[in-house]
Amino acid sequence: MELDAPMPSSAEIEALSRRIDRSIVLVGMMGVGKSTVGRKLANALHFPFVDADEAIEQAAQMTIPEIFEHYGEASFRDGERRVIARLMGESQPKVIATGGGAFCNPETRQLILDRGITVWLDSDIDVLVERVGRKDNRPLLRQGDPREILTRLKAEREPFYSQAPIHVKSGNVPHSHALAAVLKEIDAWL
């Protein structure tokens, strides 16, 4: 879905919130806006927000770059899978922003699809490159040219992301546009 949806009224958002009985899980590439849109979505719905990467860092008592450096990507992905399983097992609906690779794990993907409302936030490569250039905390981008890495990862991961029942494009517009589109698509999906 493109980003032309008007923002629902507060009464419409409140009515939608009452219909949601499970967590909303945002999946997609790094830099697409899962954490920013997720926080706005949680605030609009009056749900708790959890950034899975922050939850992993709390559980490991290390930053994600430190986990990658000391234990490697496989160990990080295992911890990510366990943290997301714990979050999905909690009964209170929440908004969860996952890391870019989380939905590629078959076990994690199935759990999210079975127990959550899965929203794929998507952007083109130019938007992703511009956004990830703002921070230096992405271990996968330290191994070469970010544009080439993002292009490769996007091609590898899209078959997984495309399994999400809700797909919203996030472009070079304010995140409120993506928020409005996500709310509209969740309402239609329910």
* Burial grade of 6 (CB within 10 A; 0-12, 13-18, 19 or more): exposed
**Could you give the number of structural domains in the chain?**
1
State pLDDT tens for residues 21-55: 999 999 999 889 999 999 999 999 999 999 999 99
Q: Would you state the pLDDT for residue 171?
A: 80
Q: Would you state the pLDDT for residue 136?
A: 61
**Enclosing domain of residue 80:** 10-189
Return the bridge partners of 96, or none: 25, 50
In a domain, 129, yes or no: yes
Can you tell me the distance from the alpha carbon of 185 to that of 30, in angstroms, rounded to the nearest whole number? 21
In a domain, 86, yes or no: yes
CATH number at residue 127: 3.40.50.300
